[in-house]
């Protein structure tokens, strides 16, 4: 089982120098991957609460925002050698598939195959609408998004006519370095999310779930995979970000079949990052 980190880099708290130093230290500590969430615009009031906090609010400092994942990964890729990068998650219900396919293929090509494309439909209705897309049809659109992106990553010339996207005889290069393409790690605890993972995914991402919740999710995931004629293994990974972690939890997650445990980095203050990386190094040593 590999150990990664989930980092919510926010301006102005996270400076370029601090982010770069964090990535360098994480790689030196043996961290396998660094994951970032995505929100491009924020709202003081939302129809649906943010599922990752008790008060339903994104924990963003006044005057701050989440850094763009593509730009940040490009910045960090140039100062690291082994560290992988993953979106946790990219909000594909509000993304353009043509631009997204090119962005992540380019990142994969420039990094020598160090990218993972974690995806989900998202929870923030206001953000989807502000991005110019519909809310009620976001699930169907996300499925077609993944179908089109996969074609652009693997086919020399793409023609696609679907419900939402239309492309005629288009070429996109460079292709991803990884074969058959950048791994798609699908997030989402709903039945639709599980089916999406079974259809398109090289893995499933469970965010903020404890070992018991992971055990339940694995059962649902295995059922969805079986219905699609697939199973977990070398070509399908289980990626989990736990809410908290004790030493004995690490072995429990491993025994549940978790391939990558992506731990919260927590505070972005330099001294807090150093303490956290010491803890993470101990977790890595426990698995060696």
> Which comes out higher in pLDDT, residue 103 or 60?
103
2-287 is classed in which CATH architecture?
Answer: Alpha-Beta Barrel (3.20)
The predicted pLDDT at position 74 comes to: 97
SS (H, E, C) 76-124: HHCCCCCCEEEECCEEHHHCCHHHHHHHHHHHHHHHCCCEEEEEECCCC
The predicted pLDDT at position 262 comes to: 98
193-236 pLDDT, tens digit per residue, is 999 999 999 999 999 999 999 999 999 999 999 999 999 988 99
24: pLDDT strictly greater than 80: yes
Each domain of the chain, given as residue ranges in start order, spans: 2-287
Q: Classify the C-alpha dihedral 247-253-255-257 as positive or negative.
A: negative
52: pLDDT strictly greater than 90: no
CA dihedral 49, 54, 58, 60 (to 10 degrees): 160
The predicted pLDDT at position 264 comes to: 96
61: pLDDT strictly greater than 80: no
3-20 pLDDT, tens digit per residue, is 999 999 999 889 999 999
Burial environment of residue 102 by CB neighbours within 10 A (0 to 12, 13 to 18, 19 or more): middle
Length of the chain: 288
Q: Which two tokens stand for residue 30?
A: 């043996």
Q: What's the whole-number mean pLDDT along residues 235-243?
A: 96
- 41 vs 130: CA distance, rounded Å: 8
The predicted pLDDT at position 149 comes to: 98
- 145 vs 156: CA distance, rounded Å: 18
* Three-class secondary structure of residue 176 per DSSP: coil
The reported pTM is: 0.96
Q: What's the whole-number mean pLDDT along residues 233-245?
A: 93
76: pLDDT strictly greater than 90: yes
Classify residue 36 by its DSSP letter.
E
The predicted pLDDT at position 59 comes to: 81
Average pLDDT in the chain: 95
225, 217 contact by CB (below 8 A): no
The predicted pLDDT at position 109 comes to: 98
- 273 vs 16: CA distance, rounded Å: 15
The predicted pLDDT at position 71 comes to: 97
pLDDT band with cut points at 50, 70 and 90 for residue 54:
confident
108-167 pLDDT, tens digit per residue, is 999 999 999 999 999 999 999 999 999 999 999 999 999 999 999 999 999 999 999 999
Q: What's the whole-number mean pLDDT along residues 165-189?
A: 97
Q: Which two tokens stand for residue 35?
A: 């994951």
């Amino acid at each position: 089982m590999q150990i990664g980190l989930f980092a919510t880099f926010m301006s102005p708290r996270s400076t370029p120098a601090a982010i770069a130093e964090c990535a360098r230290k994480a790689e030196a500590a043996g961290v396998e991957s660094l994951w970032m969430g995505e929100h491009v615009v924020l709202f003081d009031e939302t129809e649906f609460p943010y599922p990752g906090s008790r008060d339903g609010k994104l924990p963003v400092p006044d005057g701050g925002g989440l850094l763009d994942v593509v730009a940040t990964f490009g910045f960090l890729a140039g100062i690291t050698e082994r560290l992988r990068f993953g979106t946790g998650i990219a909000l594909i219900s509000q993304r353009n598939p043509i631009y997204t396919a090119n962005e992540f293929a380019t990142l994969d090509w420039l990094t020598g195959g160090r990218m993972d494309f974690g995806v989900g439909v998202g929870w923030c209705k206001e953000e989807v609408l502000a991005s110019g897309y519909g809310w009620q049809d976001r699930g169907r659109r996300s499925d077609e998004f993944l179908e089109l992106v996969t074609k652009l990553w693997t086919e020399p010339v793409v023609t696609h006519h679907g419900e939402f996207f239309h492309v005629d005889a288009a070429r996109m290069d460079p292709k991803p370095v990884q074969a058959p393409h950048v791994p798609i790690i699908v997030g989402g605890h709903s039945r639709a999310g599980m089916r999406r993972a079974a259809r398109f995914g090289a893995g499933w991402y469970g965010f903020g779930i404890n070992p018991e919740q992971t055990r339940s999710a694995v059962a649902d995931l295995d059922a969805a995979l079986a219905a699609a004629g697939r199973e977990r293994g070398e070509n399908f990974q289980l990626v989990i970000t736990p809410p908290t972690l004790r030493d004995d939890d690490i072995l429990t997650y491993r025994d549940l079949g978790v391939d990558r445990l992506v731990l919260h980095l927590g505070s972005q203050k330099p001294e807090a990052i150093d303490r956290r990386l010491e803890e993470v190094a101990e977790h890595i040593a426990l698995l060696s």
